[in-house]
Structure 1
Amino acid sequence: MSSCLVAFVKQRRKLLRLTQAETSAKAGVGLRFVPELGQGKATLQLAKVNQVLRLFGHQLGPRPMDRHQLLNEYD
């Protein structure tokens, strides 16, 4: 999971003064999910990530990338 996403969730959660348990309950995900998200677990379900993000008025989605930069990363 992206460190940017992890930082975003932690920042928003703290801004709203929500514990991990409160965040889990309000987002409708299991108690273990938010701590796993906060630890950057790589195998999280995207739908559940979006449930948490929806609590903060956001969602994950595709965004365009610079094709040349992407191709250079694999050379």
Structure 2
Amino acid sequence: MKDIAEFVRDRRKALGMTQPELAEKAGTGLRFIRDLEQGKKTLRMDKVNQVLALFGFVLAPVSPEREA
């Protein structure tokens, strides 16, 4: 299963976008995109959702049984 960092990086690259382009389109800073793609453990969920929304996704709760 992919983590969010890998998911965002793969989606961005599949669309041929650079990190600065993603930051601009998502309305976040470049530093945030870099932190997100590097798997920083503490990030603002609202900003993560801004990025994920560009790909048609949002953060949502998942039951532990579903992850197994």
Deviation, structure 1 residue 4: 1.3
Q: Which has the larger radius of gyration?
A: 1
Q: Tell me if 1:59 matches 2:58.
A: yes
**4+ residue runs over 4 A deviation:** none
Deviation, structure 1 residue 63: 1.4
Q: Deviations over 1:11-67 (max 9, x none)?
A: 10001011000000000111211000011111110000000000111111101222x
- Unmatched tracts of structure 2, length 5 or more: none
User: Percent of counterpart pairs with the same letter?
Assistant: 51
Alignment TM-score, normalising by the size of structure 2: 0.88
Q: Tell me if 1:16 matches 2:31.
A: no
Counterpart mapping for 1:22-33 below 5 A: 22-33=21-32
User: Pairwise CA RMSD of aligned residues?
Assistant: 1.4
Deviation, structure 1 residue 7: 0.9
The aligned length equals 65
Alignment TM-score, normalising by the size of structure 1: 0.80
Q: Match for residue 37 of structure 2?
A: 38
